[in-house]
Amino acid sequence: MNIGMKRAALIAAGFVLGGAAFAAINSGKARKGCVSLVNKAIKLKESVAYSLESMKENVDDIVAEAKAMDDEDAPACCSCGAEEKA
Protein backbone atom coordinates (compact mmCIF):
# COMPACT_ATOMS: atom_id res chain seq x y z
CA MET A 1 0.00 0.00 0.00
CA ASN A 2 1.52 3.30 -1.00
CA ILE A 3 1.49 6.51 1.06
CA GLY A 4 -1.39 8.05 -0.92
CA MET A 5 -3.63 5.06 -0.25
CA LYS A 6 -2.79 5.09 3.46
CA ARG A 7 -3.65 8.79 3.72
CA ALA A 8 -6.92 8.29 1.86
CA ALA A 9 -7.81 5.37 4.13
CA LEU A 10 -7.04 7.44 7.25
CA ILE A 11 -9.12 10.35 5.99
CA ALA A 12 -12.02 8.02 5.20
CA ALA A 13 -11.75 6.39 8.63
CA GLY A 14 -11.77 9.86 10.21
CA PHE A 15 -14.97 10.78 8.39
CA VAL A 16 -16.62 7.50 9.43
CA LEU A 17 -15.61 7.92 13.09
CA GLY A 18 -16.66 11.58 13.04
CA GLY A 19 -20.07 10.66 11.64
CA ALA A 20 -20.50 7.92 14.23
CA ALA A 21 -19.53 10.30 17.03
CA PHE A 22 -21.97 12.93 15.73
CA ALA A 23 -24.79 10.36 15.64
CA ALA A 24 -23.92 9.10 19.12
CA ILE A 25 -23.90 12.58 20.64
CA ASN A 26 -27.29 13.34 19.13
CA SER A 27 -28.84 10.27 20.78
CA GLY A 28 -30.45 10.83 24.19
CA LYS A 29 -28.40 8.39 26.30
CA ALA A 30 -25.06 9.37 24.86
CA ARG A 31 -25.88 13.06 25.26
CA LYS A 32 -26.70 12.54 28.96
CA GLY A 33 -23.46 10.61 29.37
CA CYS A 34 -21.46 13.40 27.70
CA VAL A 35 -23.11 16.04 29.89
CA SER A 36 -22.33 14.00 32.99
CA LEU A 37 -18.72 13.53 31.88
CA VAL A 38 -18.26 17.25 31.21
CA ASN A 39 -19.86 18.07 34.58
CA LYS A 40 -17.38 15.80 36.37
CA ALA A 41 -14.49 17.30 34.41
CA ILE A 42 -15.55 20.82 35.44
CA LYS A 43 -15.77 19.79 39.09
CA LEU A 44 -12.32 18.18 38.86
CA LYS A 45 -10.89 21.33 37.26
CA GLU A 46 -12.34 23.51 40.03
CA SER A 47 -11.00 21.15 42.69
CA VAL A 48 -7.51 21.18 41.17
CA ALA A 49 -7.61 24.97 40.81
CA TYR A 50 -8.58 25.32 44.49
CA SER A 51 -5.78 22.97 45.55
CA LEU A 52 -3.22 24.81 43.44
CA GLU A 53 -4.32 28.17 44.82
CA SER A 54 -4.02 26.81 48.36
CA MET A 55 -0.52 25.50 47.62
CA LYS A 56 0.46 28.84 46.08
CA GLU A 57 -0.71 30.68 49.21
CA ASN A 58 1.33 28.31 51.40
CA VAL A 59 4.44 28.85 49.27
CA ASP A 60 3.92 32.63 49.42
CA ASP A 61 3.66 32.42 53.22
CA ILE A 62 6.85 30.37 53.43
CA VAL A 63 8.72 32.82 51.21
CA ALA A 64 7.49 35.77 53.26
CA GLU A 65 8.59 34.08 56.51
CA ALA A 66 12.00 33.27 55.00
CA LYS A 67 12.46 36.88 53.93
CA ALA A 68 11.47 38.05 57.40
CA MET A 69 14.05 35.68 58.95
CA ASP A 70 16.69 36.95 56.54
CA ASP A 71 15.89 40.54 57.50
CA GLU A 72 16.15 39.72 61.22
CA ASP A 73 19.47 37.87 60.80
CA ALA A 74 21.13 40.51 58.59
CA PRO A 75 23.91 42.32 60.47
CA ALA A 76 23.80 46.09 60.67
CA CYS A 77 26.85 47.97 59.39
CA CYS A 78 26.75 50.53 62.16
CA SER A 79 24.65 51.64 65.07
CA CYS A 80 22.15 53.37 62.77
CA GLY A 81 20.60 50.00 61.86
CA ALA A 82 21.13 50.32 58.10
CA GLU A 83 22.24 47.17 56.31
CA GLU A 84 25.67 46.97 54.77
CA LYS A 85 25.79 47.06 50.97
CA ALA A 86 27.67 44.18 49.40
Per-residue pLDDT of 13-60, as tens digits, reads: 999 999 888 888 788 888 888 889 999 999 999 999 999 999 999 999
Determine the Cα–Cα distance for residues 85 and 41; give it in Å rounded to an integer. Answer: 53
Query: What number is the average pLDDT over the span 58-80?
Result: 79
What's this model's pTM, rounded to 2 decimal places? 0.49
Domain extent listing, the chain: 3-73
Query: What number is the average pLDDT over the span 56-84?
Result: 78
Higher pLDDT, 80 or 51: 51
Q: Identity (one letter) of the amino acid at 36? A: S
Given a contact cutoff of 8 angstroms between Cβ atoms, the answer to whether 25 and 31 are in contact is yes
Virtual CA dihedral for 42, 46, 52, 55, nearest 10 degrees?
A: -150
pLDDT at residue 16, rounded to an integer: 94
Give every CB contact of residue 84 below 8 A, 6+ residues apart in sequence. Answer: 75, 76, 77
